[in-house]
Amino acid sequence: MSRTKTTARDIAMKGGGYYSSATAGAKDVIDGATPMVLEAIAAMDIPDDGSLFTMVDMGCADGGTSIGLVGTVLKEVRRRAPSRPIQMVYTDLPRNDFSQLFRMIHGQTDIASYFEDIPDLYVFASATSFHKAIFAPGTLHFGFTATASHYISQKLGVISNHVHMVGAQGAERAAYEAQGRKDWEVMLTNRARELVPGGRLALFNFGIDEDGRYLGNTGGISMFDTFSEIWAELVDQGAITQGEYVDTNFPQCYRTVAQFTAPLKDPGNPVYQAGLRLEHVETRIVPCPYAKAFGDHGDPARFAREYIPTLRSWSESTFMTGLSAERPLEERREIIARFYDAYQERVARAPEGHAMDYVHIYLICSKA
């Protein structure tokens, strides 16, 4: 059985609109930061000179979570520069459900789109990784990304005792941190090259805050520890092998505030030398909407039923690719269903402390 096989290439949000319909919290994160983004736009010089204005949403998934923010930003650009054609570019990895994105933009889903409200607007998509060059140099005006930069680009060594780097120790953890540092610098350097002078980036990233909190780990029951425990239980029950447990690692690195800001502050760093500057940084916790609703309705079974899909929307592909490819697809699907059922039962049995609170590090950067 192959080891360390889960790579960023394998990950994908669940398609067919499942991602944004099950991920209300990710939309809350973006919507809540709209004033911060508008402030960044307000600080930009956007002359009404008829030239093309380009915005990107990197790691857009099905686009449903950012639709409100993107519409607001594009309308503001249109207001300030009526003569400028606007190009909106959505990017994600090749396995992303871009079809769902375009159906939404063109009003073929139940999500309201901005597309018909903004004249002279051209919408495109790119499946080029944000770790690579996406745009020609000096052609991007405003770059946005939410909840995506934690995905690392390289296949790494295994995490033997956990499924995520937040539970890894020693050299295993150091390998993820090193890759995280490298990828972040590459991503920023590429964007620095692509931005026009005075262009801005709004980068909302999963990370580890000043109190050591991160996604699903804000004082209650840790979500990633629960994933790891239940996956290990499947080993004990003979449903999966120890090799498959070890093979299952999220291709992600959660960075601290210091790790996010270092390349933007160090004059010797290639990111700084490429002209990218830190305008603003802050951490925020956005509460899990499903745990919040449980506080109102008090029904553990309902909470469990509503909560598990949001975990599943982004984690399923990691557990699926951890399983041996020698197993028939149907068998792998049954194991995955059993895994999430077990999580749901845990939550229904003892709901207190379960919550996927979002912990984000928000950065606004400018190109000097």
Ligand X SMILES: C[S@@+](CC[C@H](N)C(=O)[O-])C[C@H]1O[C@@H](n2cnc3c(N)ncnc32)[C@H](O)[C@@H]1O
Binding stretches for ligand X (CB under 6 A): 8, 11-13, 23, 26, 30, 58-61, 65-66, 91-93, 96, 129-131, 146-148, 151, 314
Q: Which is nearer to ligand X, 248 or 313 (CB)?
A: 313
DSSP alpha helix (H) spans, the chain: 18-22, 24-32, 34-42, 67-80, 98-105, 170-194, 223-236, 242-247, 257-265, 270-273, 289-297, 300-322, 329-349
Give the whole-angstrom CA distance, residue 37 versus residue 28: 14
Q: Which is nearer to ligand X, 80 or 193 (CB)?
A: 193
Q: Which is nearer to ligand X, 20 or 218 (CB)?
A: 20
Beta carbon of residue 14, minimum distance to ligand X (angstroms, whole number): 10
Length of the chain: 368
Q: Which is nearer to ligand X, 22 or 158 (CB)?
A: 22
At 125, list the tokens: 């998509």
C-beta pairs of 116-121 under 8 Å, 24+ apart in sequence: 117/71, 117/75, 118/71, 118/74, 118/75, 118/78, 118/86, 119/78, 120/78, 120/84, 120/85, 120/86, 121/74, 121/78, 121/85, 121/86, 121/88
Beta carbon of residue 26, minimum distance to ligand X (angstroms, whole number): 3
Give the whole-angstrom CA distance, residue 37 versus residue 74: 12
DSSP alpha helix (H) spans, 94-213: 98-105, 170-194
Q: Which is nearer to ligand X, 234 or 271 (CB)?
A: 271
Beta carbon of residue 169, minimum distance to ligand X (angstroms, whole number): 25
CA 359 to chain centre: 12
Alpha carbons within 13 A on the beta-carbon side of 58 = 27
Beta carbon of residue 31, minimum distance to ligand X (angstroms, whole number): 11
Q: Which is nearer to ligand X, 27 or 84 (CB)?
A: 27
Beta carbon of residue 119, minimum distance to ligand X (angstroms, whole number): 26
Beta carbon of residue 290, minimum distance to ligand X (angstroms, whole number): 16
Give the whole-angstrom CA distance, residue 72 versus residue 39: 12
- CB count in 10 Å sphere of residue 108: 11
Q: Which is nearer to ligand X, 26 or 304 (CB)?
A: 26
Beta carbon of residue 315, minimum distance to ligand X (angstroms, whole number): 10
Query: In the bound complex, which residue of the shown chain has the CB atom lying closest to ligand X?
Result: 59
